[in-house]
Amino acid sequence: MKTLFVSIAILSISGLEGFSQENLIHEGIEVIELDNSIFTSDPHWRGADGAGSVDLGDNKTLWLFGDTFIDTEGIGKRSNSTMVRNSIAIQNGLNIENATINFYTNGSRKEPKDFFEIPGDTWFWPGHGMLVKDKLIIFLFEEEGTSEGFGFQSVGWYMVIVDNPSEDPSNWNIEYLKGREPSGILAGSSAILKDNQYVYAFGVKEPGTHEVYLIRFEIDQLLSGSFSSMDWWVRDQWVENQGKVPEEAVLFKGHTEFSVHYQKDIEKYMQVQTFGFGHASIGYRLASQLQGPWSDPVIFYKPELEDQQEFMYSANAHPELASDGIIITYNVNNFDFEKLIYDESVYFPRCIKLKF
């Protein structure tokens, strides 16, 4: 369990240790820290890695989380918890400061299990997802335990299709589809977007140094369970998958998790992620199209952490939430496991608002 709690965090922050944060805080924007009590009030759900979000329509938002503490007694104490590899939540209402939220795992409250799981020794951490023609697709990256490194490694990716996403998640019909080769790229580990014909998935090279690629899938084929239309953006054109990673297709170096959305007021695509390692910062890149070219990073916020053992990671924007700015979440963890267990000021998603 001590290895597990830092696992998805290490995936998120590795590969950018050398990024310089000096003199990069941008002065032309305002950052407001928000109340995160929407994530802290449930007596069973006691914090998790990551915080991806998906617009479900009807003023509902799906949240996707990685390693999650569940208090099986419901007394609101992480020290009384067990851990599952992933969980989800449904937020009702688009204003994060007064919305309600319900959290979900599989199994019972006394014996919780991963929300996304298949038989075997591997497990899933969620990437991103979206509604496509009234179906919900979610990309997952598959992990397995190992005696080397951090005790885990990525072995591939899956996509799930939910054909009844408007129902309570405990009643979802979930179809699991194993992603195709080439291995080493976690398709959909980060942002998912779409137009009338294609779903576009950002994917990160893992294990590796986190080069970011852009892949597209024809919508009807994808919803039929086929990845045969998988194309890569390579040197200013779309190229059919050749069964190997096209190294020349790298867009930039990123994290395993980040967000990309279209920001209407500046008419640009915005990519938000964590920059640096440990006491890190949050920044964005801009582009006129998904394929880039992407701008150099603009660093706009560096959270104040309590001690040297704490580290931040997994910044994501949530443009589907109602706000006069851009709602962004990030995570704070602690390498000291005992502090993590008893300090419930960390390991819950934290919220800020970015205003230009």
Give the pLDDT confidence score for residue 277 in this predicted structure: 84
Helix spans in the chain (H): 7-13, 37-40, 219-223, 337-342
- The helix/strand/coil state of 284 is strand
Give the span between the Cα atoms of 152 and 116, in whole angstroms. Answer: 18
Looking at residue 15, its pLDDT comes to: 42
User: What pLDDT is recorded for position 152?
Assistant: 78
- AA identity, residue 260: V
Radius of gyration in angstroms for the set of CA atoms belonging to the chain, rounded to a whole number:
19
Name the token pair of 326.
Answer: 């851009």
* pLDDT at residue 26, as a whole number: 58
- The pLDDT value recorded for residue 356 is 83
Q: What's the number of domains the chain is made of?
A: 1
pLDDT at residue 27 in the model: 64
Give 66's Cβ-side CA count (13 Å radius).
Answer: 29
Residue tagged 């704070």 (tokens): 332
The pLDDT assigned to 46 comes to 97
* DSSP H or E segment with residue 341: helix 337-342
Compute the C-alpha angle 88/225/89, nearest 5°.
5
Looking up residue 172, the CATH number of its domain turns out to be: 2.115.10.20
Helix (H, G, I), strand (E, B), or coil: what is residue 39?
helix
Tell me the whole-structure pTM to 2 decimals: 0.92
CA-CA distance, 225 to 95, in Å (whole number)? Answer: 34
SS3 state of residue 324: coil
Q: Which of 180, 190, 137, 135 is nearest to 159 (CA)?
A: 137
Give the C-alpha separation, 135 to 114, whole Å. Answer: 21
CA distance 122 to 137: 20
Residue 354 β-bridge partners: 31, 326
Interatomic CA distance for residues 31 and 224, integer angstroms: 43
H or E element, residue 12: helix 7-13
Tell me which DSSP letter residue 25 carries: B
Q: Which residues of the chain have pLDDT under 70?
A: 1-27, 149-150, 182-183, 207-208, 242-243
Alpha helices per DSSP H over 215-264: 219-223
The answer to whether the beta carbons of residues 183 and 156 sit under 8 Å apart is: yes
Q: Which tokens sit at 44?
A: 């069973």
How many CB atoms within 10 Å of residue 273? 31
Residue 245 is predicted with a pLDDT of: 77
Which domain does 290 fall in, by range?
A: 4-355
Please tell me the predicted confidence (pLDDT) of residue 101. 98
For residue 105, which of 45, 164, 42, 165 has the smallest C-alpha distance? 45
Mapping DSSP to helix (H, G, I), strand (E, B) and coil, where does residue 79 land? helix
- Joined tokens for residue 224: 């039929």
* Exposed e or buried b per residue across 327-337, where buried means at least 16 C-beta atoms within 10 angstroms of its C-beta: bbbbbbbbbee
pLDDT at 16: 44
Q: How many CB atoms lie within 10 A of CB 221?
A: 14
Instruction: Tell me the three state secondary structure of residue 17.
Output: coil
pLDDT the model gives residue 351: 97
CA distance 186 to 8: 13
